[in-house]
Amino acid sequence: MKIAVMGAGAIGCYYGGLLARSGLPVTLIGRRLHVDAVKERGLVMEVGEERFTVPMDATTEVSGVADADVVLFCVKSGDTEAVGRDMLPHLRPDVTMLCLQNGVDNPDRLRAVTGGTVVPVAVYVATAMAGAGHVKHHGRGDLVMGPSPRDAEIVARFTAAGIPTTVSEAAIDALWGKLIVNCAYNALSALTQLPYGRLLAVPGVAEVMTDVVAECTAVATASGVTIAAGTLPAVLGLAATMPGQRSSTAQDLAMGKPTEIDHLNGLVIRKGAELHISTPANRVLHTLVKAAEAAKAGS
């Protein structure tokens, strides 16, 4: 089973690295900085106390997907269509594309440009790039993926590589559960530049998150998605389990990079408008992050 990893960020490098280490042929496709480092000395992985180097193919060319049976699709949500169109001429007709991305509509958007087998995957991992071609694991690593024709083989190979993987019709529900957490935390952490612990200590923040979760749940439910009953207490309790964490949106904004907010609160607003469900709290958060992005871009 040949693997291509489209997008050499922390998610792509972590899963691609484990699969390559287990003996599968893996090609990493990403930016020159990481590709050059991996070609020169392999991917450096830090997992718990272990530190090891995994040799693998790496390229900046999207044609690197050419022979792959399975593509791990790990690009930012904003790049889904563009990268999908670039891959299309090189894809095997029987390829299985696994979307390991934030947001809930990436599989639909990728399938719209590529056709074929595109599978939603909910990713539960804390991992970050620690340098060029160097990925560090901070916790978990399990995947919940939607059903697909080759899922038995994929689960077997992934499990053998040390990636706990389950197949579930509820993968989309799991993605929505993650989306709700992101809608509650990412914009507030970005706009205040506060870590989660101090964020929840600000008067009113718990009430704002309660409004955001209620709006997201209404939109999800009207979209046919099942949201677990304990979602609100789980969201409010998250800050206590990772008080020092800042959201990816906070990090993107601080570095002047485009955020994924259009695919977080922005998606809830768009879906809400389609379904005639009002989303005022999500709208304020989305609008202020877009204004902050524009201010950074202009400065």
For the annotated catalytic residues, the residue numbers are 178
CA–CA separation, 273 vs 173, rounded Å? 20
Residues 120 and 146: beta-carbon distance below 8 Å: yes
Instruction: Give 120's DSSP letter.
Output: E
Q: Which residue lies nearer to a copy of itself by CB, 2 or 198?
A: 198
| Contact range with a copy of itself by CB under 8 A, out of 45-53, 171-179, 217-225, 281-289 | 281-289
| Contact range with a copy of itself by CB under 8 A, out of 85-93, 128-136, 171-179, 202-210 | 202-210
Q: Which residues contact 186 (CB under 8 A, 6 or more apart)?
A: 247, 248, 249, 250, 259, 260, 261, 264, 265
| Contact string (CB under 8 A) for a copy of itself, positions 205-234, x = contact | x-xx--x---x-------------------
Residues 185 and 237: beta-carbon distance below 8 Å: no
Rounded to 10°, the helix 205-222/280-298 angle is 110
Binds a copy of itself by CB under 8 A, chosen from 82, 112, 152, 291: 291
Residues 19 and 3: beta-carbon distance below 8 Å: yes
Minimum distance from residue 103 beta carbon to a copy of itself (Å) = 18
| Contact string (CB under 8 A) for a copy of itself, positions 152-191, x = contact | ------------------------------------x--x
Number of residues located near a copy of itself, criterion CB under 8 A: 27
CA–CA separation, 223 vs 246, rounded Å? 30
Binding residues vs a copy of itself (CB under 8 A): 188, 191-194, 202-205, 207-208, 211, 215, 278, 280-281, 283-288, 290-292, 294-295
